[in-house]
Amino acid sequence: MIKRRILLLALMGLGLAQAAPEAHAQAWPSRPVKFIAPFAAGGTSDVLGRIAAEHLKAKLQQQFYVENRAGAGGLIGSHEVALAEPDGYTFVVSGIASHVIAPALSRNPPYDGLRDFTHVAYLGGPPVVLVVHPSLGARSFKDFIELARGAPEGLNYVSSGVGTHGFLFAEDMARREHLQLTHVPYKGSNPAMLDLVAGHVKIGAMAWSSAVEQIRAGNVLALGMSAETRLPGFPDVPTFRELGYPDLVAATWFGLSGPAKLSPAISHRLNAAIIDVMHAPDVQKQLAQDGVEIKYLSPEDFTRFVEAETARWAPLAKAIGPLDSN
């Protein structure tokens, strides 16, 4: 009888232990949830974070808000989340720049992009685009290459920061074509685009979504981009694949990630809510206009995706870096 009672109590305890995470997830969120966008306001990480936050407010009946922590290719804001309590109230708008490229470029990265985070949901990703100011005189990618090769002191180009996907693409292109390109990093794509449109700088490599409005307006010219096929509405903008770089097909993707050891129950609840948000017709229409591709990945699938992207891009970043001094 005593042994049977002990066994019954043990089974009850096991049941309570298994139920606890689920109960915790059902109670979450009980207070405001912060999304840190590790780049400047107006960039793709900021925009995607705010779209998610705005729709999650109504869906989960709690405040979701975005704070910008720009700098160091996303390392500063992401590090803050890596150090946060894994309680479900602090997340980072993670991405290839902050969680793959910038750590690989750094001599002493403040975190591991895989081990120090719980990767929760994929938000979306636009292609990288090479844009130039009309005054540069390049009307095609071929013009650009010839002009760059003929510049005795080389050319400057801007990106939204050291460690961003645009930076990596430009540096890779310079290495392949033996070009002398000097990087001028900005703290976000918005200030970089402002100077590019003003003609203070002539060349930019950044996310399509950050440049598309200026491309539409004719303020900058798009010479090539990293989508698999040409984008609707822009039939004259070739892909890098068409230009002779079959391996340069990629998205500047962003997602939501929390600190390591985040409760799987919370992770899956937020993931399901994000997928519902991304299915909304108004969200899909808005993102399609910016060339943002959406994928519906579970937390486990998103983690495997980050692992694959790290295996693909980190070796190239390490070959280019380290660039902590930039």
Is there a domain that residue 4 lies in?
Answer: no
Cα–Cα distance measured from residue 197 to residue 199, given in angstroms and rounded to the nearest whole number: 5
User: Is residue 234 in some structural domain?
Assistant: no
Whether residue 175 is contained in a domain is answered as yes
Residue 239 lies inside a defined structural domain of this protein: no
In the predicted model, is pLDDT for residue 129 greater than 70? Answer: yes
Q: How many CA atoms lie within 13 A of 296 on its CB side?
A: 9
Per-residue pLDDT band at 43 (split at 50, 70, 90): confident
* Domain carrying residue 277: 31-125+254-320
Could you tell me how far CA 216 lies from the centroid of its own chain?
23
Sequence-distant (6+) residues with CB within 8 A of 275 are 121, 296
The enclosing domain of 174 has a CATH number of: 3.40.190.10
225 neighbors 239 (Cβ within 8 angstroms): yes
Query: What's the pLDDT score for residue 326?
Result: 41
Is residue 151 domain-shared with residue 63, that is, in the same domain? no
12 located within any domain? no
Smallest CA-to-CA distance from 255 within 74, 111, 105 is with 74
Contact 183, 170 (CB under 8 A): yes
DSSP E strand stretches across 169-270: 181-185, 203-207, 221-225, 254-259
Is there a single domain that holds both residue 177 and residue 263? no
Q: Give the pLDDT score at 23.
A: 55
CATH number at 116 reads 3.40.190.150
Ranking 11-15, 47-51, 100-104 by mean pLDDT, the lowest is: 11-15
Minimal CA–CA distance to 129: which of 220, 63, 191, 13?
A: 220
33-37 and 90-95 strand pairing = parallel
How far apart are alpha carbons 175 and 149 in whole angstroms? 12
Structural domains counted in the chain: 2
Q: What is the pLDDT of residue 73?
A: 82
What is the amino acid identity at position 293?
Answer: E
Count of CB atoms situated within 10 Å of the CB of 118? 22
Give yes or no: residues 115 and 148 share one domain: no
**Start-end of H helices in 182-259:** 189-198, 208-217
**Residue 143 and residue 54 share a domain:** no
Task: Compute the CA torsion angle 204, 218, 200, 166 (nearest 10 deg).
Answer: -10
Q: Are residues 44 and 182 in the same domain?
A: no
The token duo for 103 is 């750590």
Residues 36 and 113 in one domain: yes
212 versus 7: the higher-pLDDT residue is 212
Q: Tokens 């894994």 appear where? A: 86
Q: Using the predicted structure, report yes or no on whether residue 323 has a pLDDT greater than 70.
A: no
Q: What is the pLDDT of residue 262?
A: 98
Tell me what pLDDT residue 42 has: 84
Are residues 141 and 130 in contact, defined by beta-carbon separation less than 8 angstroms? yes
- Judgement on whether residues 217 and 146 belong to the same structural domain of the protein: yes
Q: Identify the bridge partners of residue 129 per DSSP, sorted by sequence position.
A: 206, 225
Percent of the chain, pLDDT > 70?
A: 91
Mean pLDDT of 261-275: 98
**Residues 49, 67 contacting (CB under 8 angstroms):** no
- Structural domain contains residue 243: no
Q: What is the pLDDT of residue 186?
A: 87
- Spatial CA neighbour of 158 closest among 219, 98, 200: 200
